[in-house]
């Protein structure tokens, strides 16, 4: 149905896709998997006309095509269902379903009776029963997702691309969604299904394509691939391949028996975290393992007060910390290096100096006036210690390279002298040299007695950097690796394990 | 996403645009001054400069507060009405002496600013909408307190409005002092830096534990207080309280001064010097048109064009 | 909005599919809040009118009501255009100036006949609206600043036309144009009939045409609307043009009623119009609202004004205080309601 061959796409600084071949066949649900930065989203954006490929052929229905805009792709019958539902929440279900192609009666006015009837029929055909007059937002996310699906189908989509459609759905909603997907498959629609949930993939998908570092590392029927092998492919690790000497800059593990400085117990966030508990001792690096969407970042954010929790408690150095307030967490000594450096980390328009001093400002001022001499001293210390490469302390942070931005952020937190440092993907998107420096720094900080929580999609980094690894899956802790069990193989087994009471294919 | 590949090709144009935005306002002021020196009779007189400076002072003071609100990625549409409220309060409480009356007037501005700030920071109303309702209510309140124009005869206020020290009118001195104070606050205080961080990237500011709400409220309170001060000064200069017309369209003049001065509407940057120059530029533009016998209607049209042009230029940069 | 029967069957038949699992079905509180948003203004209006008629003998008289209706008509037409703009999530601050400009153009044009008197303001004000729309939709400038600038620009043009406001154009009394403002039908002034007709038309356009659906979609979720193929830019340009035309028309009708184009009218009208629209239940953030609500909002504002006038001892400025406070309360309520719904 839709085929691409030899697809190449270079984004600034990265070769996002190289020589990618991909085929979506009619009546087939095709899983597209890969870790962060593997090139999934770039591939989807090329397929849907958001990006233009640098090289490669794309054929649709046997004819070569090239989409300049998303709407061209849509007209050609390629629809995308995004993670966030892209409908108008304040309008009724029927209006959403029919926007732009409402049935019109006399005088060109919309015939609502017919529209509601047809909307009901369309939805019933997919096994969905809702009151089509209700505003969309009154439905649950799952139902909204299905309305989006129905709209895509109703506009004669031949290829449906679903980008993590289940990430915010309840289990029952997922089942209904799968029912709809099966109906679509029977109708001969090609479905491309992007998800990180192993169980879902094996339940609904027929074929799989695994991307890693912009290349296709495997493609074929899913049933022939067992879970462990799939995880190994995604993470780029061979089972049984254990390196004696790591490539990362982490040194050996630390023996720690001290009482924990951070205890987070039974953290609950609706639909995202289910009773997650983590504890950190001073001088210890604890890794949070798991695939994308398993609740790693959410755990870190909840601990740092950036994500309101529905339940659970956080204790730092024996003192309970009020949840849902970053200021309270920071006062208690918890600092978070956020995953999304560009939007949640740096303040791009301010200088290196201001960015480093930002969080520590109250401590660096007297009577509300900043003590510039002290700021300069601190900025100078950290720029040297972290080897931040900038034209000077007054250069705008937005102009620095990713690695240096990350170091500025680290400096911002270190200037506060935290007890606990939460690092969410600290080395993502930064060059190799800076990566090694950051890794060495994490080690050094732990040696100085800081408790570090490390999140990384880079398994090697996670395993070698951590003394212990807590493995998350679907928002819950599934295993904790300690001592000799801190290996990539054990991590992959933990991730691939079939949940108790689950079913295997 | 294509930043890198595009950067080289457009770097010159980009730099030119940035220079234009940062320093264009000063260039504009110089050009207008030169034009007037050459073509406008009696322009280069001390008396004329004095008049110009006195006229620009209230606008400038309001623009300083507006710059703070805009720096937080907001806007304060209520400034004109707050000026009206301030003049009403002033003439109402003038019986207690000019100082008490001034304090009450400024307190009115603070309360109004606190209301806008609370709506923005705690309730989460968009700044335009929040300050719009304050704009309606404050003007109404001003008219309730003082239904029509009233002459203000107070020796203290009259002295404030028309007196001078070392040949420089008090009004100008006060405006200059406030501008310097604001520049100092933005440069040296924790508040100033936190405000810029919040305006530039609110998620990052929140994750860094900054007191986002407090800073927002304080910014709007400052804007309200400065507008009230401008109201007092304008009353002193006119020796009359006119709540019906005082401060109408002031929000537009202030926004123009701020935007022309190179402060982006998207927040994260406050240019005090640019704002001063922006206010001066508009004043000069008005004067030039008037002195060359062009009617006030032309001034309004010219100002409309200038503001759209300034916002348009700023947009280019925001998209980069 | 919801039919109970439909929901009930749905729950019975496919519990897994839908609301069965959803705690997000409309709770009683949420329905009440939706009702309050839709009909709150109407209920308040009825209460206000009842109270007023019990308190003042002069309130519920034919003359008084007719006066109120006539004086509301012009604001109502402006609010009609404003409703379209606000439903797209925008704002139009230029309408007050355009209203005054429309009046002057109509009065000046009346010497050349009714057609000129009526068409000139519509075309000129429509053009200003078009420019607003183009700057907002194509260049991506903020609506409030563009329309604030054109408010100033339009006022400048108005002053230029009237020798800096010193000249007042009188409407040529012989022109048929004056009938639009002066005559009455079934005892009710023609402007009122025109206004009612326009509201019916506006309601039909907003609720029953594809364009209307686009207006809601753009205001509800602009990105989604674009992805769903709605002509976002064209819709925005259209609503600002409609708003300009409405303001111009209101000005022309007003001139026909007053028999002159008065330059000082219309300042502050943009705020009154916005207040009326928002009080009528339209969300300032866009995506939700009704034409009929705006009519109720205008009526409510005018009744409050009338009552304040009747009291006599109170200054008419209280009306501004009341509507400002009203606006603030409604906006806060809307924000809270909106936030709670998002959480659910």
Residue A173 and residue C204: Cβ atoms within 8 Å?
no
Mutation site for C-interface testing, chosen from B80, B144, B241, B282 by largest number of C Cβ within 10 Å:
B144
Nearest CA in chain A to C218: A88
On whether any CB of chain A is under 8 Å from the CB of C228, the answer is yes
A139 interfaces chain C, CB cutoff of 8 Å: yes
Give CA C241 to chain center in angstroms. 14
The yes-or-no verdict on residue C264 having pLDDT over 80 is no
Whether residue A500 is predicted with pLDDT greater than 90 in this model: the reply is no
Confidence band of B276 (pLDDT split at 50, 70, 90): very high
Last residue of a domain, one of A417, A436, A453: A417
Pick the range with the lowest mean pLDDT from A279-288, B78-87, B132-141, C36-45.
Answer: C36-45
What residues of chain A lie within 8 A of the CB of B203, using their CB? 343-344
The structure's pTM equals: 0.80
Nearest alpha-carbon partner for A460 in A428, A487, A420, A493:
A487
DSSP, res C89: T
Q: How far apart are CA B246 and CA B240, in angstroms?
A: 10
Interchain contact, B304 vs C153, CB within 8 Å: yes
Q: How far apart are CA A200 and CA A180, in angstroms?
A: 14
Q: Which residues pair with A30 in a beta bridge?
A: A192, A207
pLDDT in tens, A138-187: 777 777 888 888 888 777 778 888 887 777 677 777 888 888 888 888 88
Q: Is residue A294 packed enough to be buried (19+ CB in 10 Å), middle (13-18) or exposed (0-12)?
A: buried
* 3 state SS for chain B: CCHHHHHHHHHHHHHHHHHHHHHHHHHHHHHHHHHHHHHCCCCCCHHHHHHHHHHHHHHHHHHHHHHHHHHCCCCCCCHHHHHHHHHHHHHHCHHHCHHHHHHHHHHHHHHHHHHHHHHHHHHCCCHHHHHHHHHHHHHHHHHHHCCCCEECCCHHHHHHHHCEECCEEHHHHHHHHHHHHHHHHHHHEHHHHHHHHHHHCHHHHHHCCCCHHHHHHHHHHHHHHHHHHHHHHHHHHHCEECCCCCCCCHHHHHHHHHHHCCCCCCCCCCCHHHHHHHHHHHHHHHHHHHHCCCCHHHHHHHHHHHHHHHHHHHHHHHHC
What ipTM was reported for this prediction?
Answer: 0.77
* Residue A131 clears pLDDT 70, i.e. is over it: yes
> Which residue of A86, A87, A110, A129 to mutate against C (max C Cβ within 10 Å)?
A129
Instruction: Provide the mean pLDDT of chain C.
Output: 78
What is the arithmetic mean of pLDDT over C147-163?
A: 85
- Residue C13: pLDDT over 80: no
pLDDT higher for A443 or A246?
Answer: A443
Residues of chain A contacting residue B210, judged by C-beta atoms under 8 Å apart: 327, 358-359
CATH number at residue A325: 3.40.50.300
Find the mean pLDDT for residues B160-187.
Answer: 87
Quick check: C310 and C58 in contact, CB under 8 A? yes
Query: Is B203 near chain A, with CB under 8 Å?
Result: yes
**Are residues A220 and A83 both part of a single domain?**
yes
Output the CA torsion B267→B270→B276→B278 (10° steps): -30
Instruction: Out of A109-113, B251-255, C32-36, C201-205, pick the least confident.
Output: C32-36
- Taking residues A365-373, report their average pLDDT: 83
In the block, residue with structure tokens 């068409």: C119
Task: Answer yes or no: do A140 and C24 touch at CB < 8 A.
Answer: yes
Contacting B residues, span 209-248, partner chain C, CB-CB under 8 Å: 248
Chain A interface disruption, residue of C3, C10, C17, most A CBs within 10 A:
C17
Q: Does B188 touch chain A (CB under 8 A)?
A: yes
pLDDT digits 0-9 by tens, B53-66: 888 999 999 999 99
- Reply yes or no on whether the pLDDT at C127 is more than 90: yes
**Order of strands, edge to edge, in the sheet holding A319-321?**
A273-280, A262-269, A311-316, A319-321
The pLDDT of residue B320 is 32
Nearest CB to A172 within list C21, C283, C341: C21
Same-domain pairing of A47 and A188: yes
User: For residues C187 and A358, what is the distance between their CA atoms, to the nearest angstrom?
Assistant: 70
Q: Percent of chain A having pLDDT more than 70? A: 92
- Per-domain residue ranges of chain C: 71-265+282-290
Cα A147 from chain centre: 24
DSSP letter, residue A192: E
The answer, for A64 touching chain C at a CB cutoff of 8 Å, is no
Length of chain A: 505
- Strand A285-289 versus strand A14-24 pairing type: unpaired
Residue A233 lies in a domain: no
Contact status, residue A105 vs residue A133, Cβ threshold 8 Å = no
Assess C18–A contact: CB distance below 8 Å, yes or no.
yes
Flag whether A257 is in a domain.
yes
- Spatial neighbors of C292 by CB under 8 A, at least 6 apart, are C199, C203, C280
3-class DSSP state of A396: strand
Q: Do B203 and A343 touch (CB under 8 A)?
A: yes
Across the range C50-56, mean pLDDT stands at: 80
- Say what the pLDDT of residue B224 is: 94
Instruction: Please indicate, yes or no, whether residues A301 and A370 belong to a single structural domain of this protein.
Output: no
Q: H-type helices in A84-159, by residue range? A: 93-98, 112-125, 141-154
pLDDT at residue number C316: 63
Q: What is the pLDDT of residue B149?
A: 80
- Quick: pLDDT tens for A387-412: 888 888 888 888 887 788 888 988 99
- The pLDDT, as a whole number, for residue C124 is 92
Residue A70 lies in a domain: yes
Candidates A402, A424, A36; CA nearest to A213 is A36
- Residue A210 near residue A216, CB atoms below 8 Å: yes
> Under an 8 A CB cutoff, do C153 and B300 touch?
yes
Q: Provide the pLDDT for residue A501.
A: 46
Higher-pLDDT residue of B316, C248: C248
Q: What is the DSSP letter of A343?
A: I
Whether residue A390 sits in one domain with residue A430 = no
The pLDDT of residue A14 is 65
Q: Which residue of B has its CA nearest to C154?
A: B301
The answer to whether A354 contacts B209, with C-beta atoms less than 8 Å apart, is: no
Same domain for A325 and A197? no
Same domain, A324 and A357: no
Is the CB of C156 less than 8 angstroms away from the CB of B251?
Answer: no
Question: pLDDT tens digits for B128-173?
Answer: 888 888 888 888 888 888 877 888 777 878 888 777 778 788 888 8
Which carries the bigger pLDDT value, residue C229 or residue A111? A111
Q: At CB < 8 Å, which residues of chain A contact B?
A: 11-13, 304, 306, 326-327, 329-331, 336, 338, 343-350, 354, 357-359, 361-362, 365, 368-370, 372, 412
Q: Is residue A302 part of a domain?
A: yes
- Over the stretch B45-54, which tens digit does the pLDDT of each residue have? 778 888 888 8
Closest chain A residue to the Cα of C231, Cα to Cα: A100
* Chain-chain contact of C14 with A129 (C-beta, under 8 angstroms): yes
- The dihedral over CA atoms of B270, B273, B279, B280, expressed in degrees to the nearest 10, equals -170
Per-residue pLDDT for C240 more than 90? yes
Least trusted range by pLDDT, from A95-99, A246-250, A268-272, A359-363: A246-250
User: Residue holding tokens 């519509």?
Assistant: C122
Does the CB of B79 have a partner CB in chain C at under 8 Å?
A: no
Chain A nearest CA to B198, separation (Å): 9
Do residues A275 and A264 both lie within one domain?
yes
Question: Residue C2 burial by CB count (10 A; 0-12/13-18/19+): exposed, middle or buried?
Answer: middle
Task: Assess whether A404 and A423 both reside in one domain.
Answer: no
Q: How far is A448 from chain C (nearest CA, A)?
A: 42
- B297–C158 CB contact, under 8 Å: yes
Of A225, A254, A288, the residue at which a domain comes to its end is A225
Report the largest interatomic distance among the alpha carbons of chain C, rounded to a whole angstrom. Answer: 74
In a domain, A24, yes or no: yes
* C323: chain B residues, CB-CB within 8 Å: 136, 140
**Are B140 and C153 an interchain contact pair (Cβ–Cβ within 8 Å)?**
no
Residue A372 lies in a domain: yes
Sign of the alpha-carbon dihedral angle for C194, C196, C198, C200: negative
Q: Residue C284: which of C241, C333, C234 has the closest Cα?
A: C333
Query: Taking CB atoms and an 8 Å cutoff, what residues of chain C touch B242?
Result: none
In a domain, A341, yes or no: no
- Domain boundary (A417, A452, A475) is at A417
Contacting subunits of A (3+ beta carbon pairs below 8 A):
B, C
Q: Would the CB atoms of C230 and A102 count as touching at under 8 Å?
A: no
Query: Beta strand A63-64 with A55-60: parallel, antiparallel or unpaired?
Result: antiparallel
Inter-chain touch B133–C328, beta carbons under 8 Å: yes
- Among chain A residues, CA nearest to B199: A347
Q: Which element (helix H / strand E) includes A263? A: strand A262-269
Specify the DSSP class assigned to residue A48: T
Do the domain assignments include residue A231?
no
Q: Does A263 share its domain with A203?
A: no
Chains that touch C (3 or more CB pairs under 8 A): A, B
Pick the residue of B8, B201, B209 with the most A CBs within 10 A to test the interface with A by mutation.
B209
Q: Which of C1, C24, C230 sits opposite A100 (nearest CB)?
A: C230
- Confidence check: pLDDT of B5 > 50: no
Cross-strand bridge partners of residue A9: A17
How many Å lie between the alpha carbon of A117 and the closest alpha carbon of chain B? 39
User: How far apart are the CA of B178 and the nearest CA of chain C, in angstroms?
Assistant: 26
Nearest chain B residue to A401 by CA distance is: B4
**Distance (Å, whole) CA C158 – CA C294:** 28
DSSP β-bridge partners for residue A461: none
Note whether A104 and A170 are same-domain residues: yes
b/e per residue B76-88 (b: at least 16 CB within 10 A): bbbbbbbbbbbbb
- Which chain A residues touch B188 with a CB distance below 8 Å? 369-370, 372
Cα–Cα distances (Å) from C332 to B133, B305, C279, C321, in that order, read 10, 34, 12, 16
**Domains plus CATH for chain B?**
9-319 (1.10.3470)
Tally of domains in chain A: 3
What's the CA gap between C135 and B135, in Å, rounded? 25
Residues A141 and A111 in one domain: yes
- Average pLDDT on A50-61 reads 84
- Do A201 and A81 sit in the same domain of this protein? yes
What is the extent of the structural domain holding A382? Answer: 347-417
Cα of C229 to nearest chain A Cα, Å: 7
Structure tokens at C253: 């009708």
């Amino acid at each position: 149905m839709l085929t691409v061959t030899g697809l190449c796409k270079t984004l600034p600084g990265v070769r996002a896709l190289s020589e990618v071949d991909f085929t979506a066949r009619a009546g087939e649900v095709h899983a597209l998997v890969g870790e962060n930065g593997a090139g999934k989203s770039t591939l989807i954006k090329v397929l849907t006309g958001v990006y233009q490929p640098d090289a490669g052929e794309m054929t649709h229905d046997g004819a070569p095509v090239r989409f300049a805009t998303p709407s061209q792709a849509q007209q050609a019958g390629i629809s995308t269902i995004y993670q966030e539902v892209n409908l108008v929440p304040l309008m009724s279900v029927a209006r959403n379903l029919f926007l732009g192609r409402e049935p019109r009666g006399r005088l060109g006015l919309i015939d609502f009776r017919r529209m509601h009837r047809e909307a009901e029929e369309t939805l019933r055909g997919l096994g969905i029963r809702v009151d089509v007059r209700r505003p969309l937002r009154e439905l649950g996310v799952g139902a909204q997702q299905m309305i989006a699906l129905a709209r895509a189908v109703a506009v004669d989509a031949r290829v449906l691309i679903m980008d993590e459609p289940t990430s915010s759905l309840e289990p029952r909603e997922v089942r209904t969604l799968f029912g709809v997907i099966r109906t679509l498959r029977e109708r001969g629609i090609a479905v491309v299904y992007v998800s990180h949930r192993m169980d879902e993939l094996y339940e609904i998908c027929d074929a799989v394509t695994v991307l890693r570092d912009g290349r296709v590392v495997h493609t074929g029927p899913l049933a022939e691939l067992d879970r462990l092998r799939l995880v190994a492919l995604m993470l780029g690790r061979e089972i049984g391949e254990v390196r004696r000497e790591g490539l990362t800059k982490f040194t050996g593990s630390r023996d720690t028996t001290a009482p924990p400085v951070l205890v987070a117990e039974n953290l609950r966030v609706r639909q995202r975290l289910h009773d997650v508990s983590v504890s950190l001792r001073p001088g210890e690096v604890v890794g949070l393992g798991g695939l994308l969407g398993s609740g790693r970042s959410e755990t870190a954010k909840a601990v740092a007060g950036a994500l309101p929790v529905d339940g659970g408690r956080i204790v730092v150095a024996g003192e309970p910390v009020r949840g849902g307030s970053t200021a309270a967490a920071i006062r208690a000594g918890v600092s978070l290096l956020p995953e999304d450096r560009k939007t949640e980390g740096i303040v791009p328009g301010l200088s290196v100096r201001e960015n480093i001093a930002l969080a520590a400002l109250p401590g660096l001022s007297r009577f509300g006036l900043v003590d510039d001499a002290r700021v300069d001293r601190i900025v100078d210390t950290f720029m040297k210690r972290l080897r931040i490469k900038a034209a000077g302390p007054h250069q705008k942070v937005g102009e620095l390279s990713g690695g240096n931005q990350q170091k500025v952020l680290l400096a911002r937190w270190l200037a506060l002298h935290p007890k606990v440092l939460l690092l969410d993907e600290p080395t993502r998107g930064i060059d190799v040299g800076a990566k090694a420096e950051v890794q060495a720094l994490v080690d050094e900080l732990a040696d100085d007695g800081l408790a570090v929580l490390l999140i990384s999609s880079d398994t090697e980094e996670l395993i070698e950097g951590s003394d212990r690894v807590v493995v998350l899956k679907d928002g819950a802790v599934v295993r904790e690796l300690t001592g000799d069990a801190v290996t990539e193989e054990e991590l992959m087994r933990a991730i691939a394990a079939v949940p108790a009471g689950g079913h295997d294919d | 996403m294509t930043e890198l590949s595009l950067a080289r090709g457009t770097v010159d144009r980009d730099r030119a645009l940035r220079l234009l935005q940062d320093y264009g306002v000063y260039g504009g002021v110089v050009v207008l001054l030169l034009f007037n020196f050459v073509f406008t009779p009696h322009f280069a007189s001390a008396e004329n400069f004095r008049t110009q400076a006195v006229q620009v002072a209230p606008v400038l003071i309001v623009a300083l507060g507006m710059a703070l609100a805009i720096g937080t990625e907001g806007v304060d549409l209520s400034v004109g009405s707050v000026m009206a409220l301030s003049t009403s309060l002033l003439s109402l409480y003038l019986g207690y002496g000019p100082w008490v009356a001034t304090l009450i007037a400024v307190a009115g501005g603070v309360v109004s600013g606190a209301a806008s700030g609370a709506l923005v920071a705690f309730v989460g109303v968009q700044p335009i909408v929040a300050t719009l309702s304050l704009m309606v209510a404050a003007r109404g309140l001003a008219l309730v307190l003082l239904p029509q124009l009233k002459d203000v005869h107070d020796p203290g206020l009259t002295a404030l409005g028309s007196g001078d020290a070392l040949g420089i009118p008090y009004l100008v001195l006060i405006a200059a002092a406030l501008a310097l104070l604001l520049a100092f606050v933005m440069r040296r205080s924790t508040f100033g830096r936190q405000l810029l961080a919040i305006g530039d990237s609110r998620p990052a500011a929140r994750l860094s534990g900054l007191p986002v709400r407090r800073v927002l409220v304080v910014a709007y309170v400052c804007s309200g207080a400065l507008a009230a001060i401008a109201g007092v000064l304008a009353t002193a200069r006119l020796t009359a309280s006119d709540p019906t017309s005082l401060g109408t369209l002031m929000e537009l003049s202030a926004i123009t001064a701020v935007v022309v001065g190179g402060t982006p509407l998207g927040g994260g940057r406050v240019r005090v010097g640019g704002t001063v120059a922006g206010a001066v530029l508009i004043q000069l533009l008005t004067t030039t048109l008037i002195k060359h016998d062009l009617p006030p209607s032309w001034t309004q049209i010219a100002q409309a064009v200038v503001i759209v042009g300034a916002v348009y230029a700023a947009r280019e940069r925001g998209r980069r | 909005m919801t039919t109970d029967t439909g929901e009930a069957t749905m729950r019975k038949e496919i519990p897994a599919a839908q609301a069965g699992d959803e705690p997000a079905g409309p709770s009683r509180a949420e329905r009440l809040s939706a009702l309050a948003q839709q009909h709150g203004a109407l209920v308040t209006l009825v209460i206000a009118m009842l109270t007023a008629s019990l308190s003042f003998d002069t309130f519920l008289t034919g003359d008084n009501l007719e006066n109120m209706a006539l004086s509301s008509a012009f604001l109502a037409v402006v609010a009609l255009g404003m409703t379209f703009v606000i439903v797209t999530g925008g704002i139009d601050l230029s309408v007050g100036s355009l209203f005054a400009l429309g009046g002057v153009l109509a009065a000046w044009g009346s010497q050349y006949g009714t057609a000129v008197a009526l068409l000139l303001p519509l075309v000129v004000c429509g053009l200003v609206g078009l420019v607003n729309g183009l700057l907002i939709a194509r260049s991506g400038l903020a609506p409030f600043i563009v329309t604030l600038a054109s408010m100033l620009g339009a006022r400048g043009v108005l002053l230029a036309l009237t020798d800096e406001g010193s000249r007042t154009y009188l409407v040529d009394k012989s022109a048929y144009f004056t009938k639009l403002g002066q005559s009455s039908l079934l005892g009710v002034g023609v402007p009122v009939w025109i206004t009612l007709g326009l509201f019916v038309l506006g309601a039909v356009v907003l609720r029953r045409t594809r364009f209307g659906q686009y207006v809601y979609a753009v205001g509800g979720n602009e990105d989604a609307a674009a992805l769903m193929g709605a002509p976002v830019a064209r819709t925005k340009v259209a609503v600002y043009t409609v708003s300009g035309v409405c303001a111009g028309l209101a000005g022309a009708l007003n001139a026909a009623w007053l028999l002159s184009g008065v330059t000082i009218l219309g300042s502050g009208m943009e705020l009154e119009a916005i207040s009326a629209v928002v009080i009528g239940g339209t969300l300032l953030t866009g995506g939700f609202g009704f034409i009929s609500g705006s009519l109720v909002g205008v009526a409510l504002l005018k009744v409050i004004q009338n009552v304040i006038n009747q009291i006599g001892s109170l200054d008419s400025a209280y009306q501004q205080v009341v509507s400002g406070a009203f606006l603030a309360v409604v906006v806060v309520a809307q924000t809270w309601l909106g936030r709670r719904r998002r959480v659910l």
